[in-house]
Amino acid sequence: MKLLNVPEFLSFEGTAIAIDVRSPLEFEQGHIPGALSFPLFSNAERAEIGTLYKKSGQRQAILRGLEIIGPKMRPMAEQMLRLAKDKALYIHCWRGGMRSQSVAMLAGQLGIPCFVLKGGYKAYRNSVLEGLSAPLKYTVLTGFTGSGKTKILQKLRDFGAQVMDLEGLANHLGSSFGGIGQEEQPSTEYFQNLCFTEIQKWDLTKLIWIEDESAFIGNCFLPTEMYRNMQNANWVQIILPLEERIAFITEVYGYLPKEEISQAIQRIQKRLGPAQTQAALAACEENDVQKCVEILLQYYDKHYQKSIAKKDIAKGIRLEYTRLNFDEIAQDLSELKEKLWIKYD
């Protein structure tokens, strides 16, 4: 059994099998992307041992743990043999303590090469927060609602740019309407882990494109320092005619059930005001998606104007278009590279 630091442990992808021996509830809250849940104790068993540790001390907790594990050892051993095959096992628990070490010991007795994460998942999370808080070379793509920023960034990625798709990782398109038609959101902890995994793939001396977001993307929130770095980063604003934006939003949301659209409108009725709320709900009920979007954009545009006014003009570049052509805009952004480098220097 060999201890690995976080960067060494994260090299498992494609070469080894990473297993997380924490309880299912701990795994669900957040885990290392790519790791498999391999719980030593169930949620109830972990809670029981924790209570026993507090009331009766470490020795009694260990004895109870051994009593629970005993009947599980053969099934666990067989499962590890199936998982490992000709690969090593990279094992971790919360702090790199008894849970991971005991599983590693069993793996070693089976002849399976195994490695344990030093400091456990806690050390990994510290690395995540440290990595996301670093002052990376972000370039923020901003623009009024309906400017197609996410699709532009996806095209930019096709051109070889380093792009962090926050909305894709969060399974949410932003705003009150962003969760409609999307898969269930990850926990904030796992969302942040996914962001960190993206960063590990990149050359951090080069630009990283990222969409202008609030601190919260649905129920997922960005670490404070990461959000502050985004707010202080260089930015490029895409400016499009209102009719182009309305057409794009209508295309994106027009097929969605009007009941869900109505619920989303009602969630922001305090900010919309009674008149705009009723007008938007009426348009939705009449299946007039274009009119509904036009009404809602009056609110979202006012909100965006306040947001863009806070940005440092010296760090920004504005690009104006008469139509929303993703390939054309992405091509222009890729050619801005030299100008953006000067801003960083």
Residue 217 pLDDT: 93
At residue 164, does pLDDT exceed 70? yes
Residue 177 clears pLDDT 90, i.e. is over it: no
On the question of pLDDT at 1 being above 90, the answer is no
DSSP state letter for 164: E
Q: Is residue 344 over pLDDT 90?
A: no
Residue 138 has pLDDT above 70, yes or no: yes
Give the whole-angstrom CA distance, residue 205 versus residue 136.
8
Please state the rounded mean pLDDT for residues 304-314: 92
pLDDT digits (tens, 9 = 90+) for 235-266: 999 999 999 999 999 988 877 788 888 998 99
pLDDT at 142 over 90: yes
As a whole number, mean pLDDT of residues 33-60 equals 94
Axis-axis angle for helices 224-231, 120-133 (nearest 10)? 20
The predicted structure's pLDDT at residue 341: 56
Q: Are 217 and 121 a contacting pair, CB within 8 Å?
A: no
Q: pLDDT value at position 123? A: 98
Looking up tokens 């499962």 gives 79
- Give rounded-to-5 percent helix, strand, coil for the chain: 55, 15, 30
- Topology of 2-129 in CATH? Oxidized Rhodanese; domain 1 (3.40.250)
Does the pLDDT at position 343 exceed 80?
no
Average predicted confidence (pLDDT) for the chain: 92
Asked whether the beta carbons of 83 and 36 are under 8 A apart, the reply is yes
Active site residue ranges: 93
**What mean pLDDT do residues 115-122 have?**
97
Residue 342 pLDDT greater than 60, yes or no: no
Which CATH number is 135-344's, of 3.30.70, 3.10.450, 3.40.50, 3.40.630? 3.40.50
* 263-270: average pLDDT: 90
Name the more confident of 310 and 253.
Answer: 310
What ranges do the domains of the chain cover?
2-129, 135-344
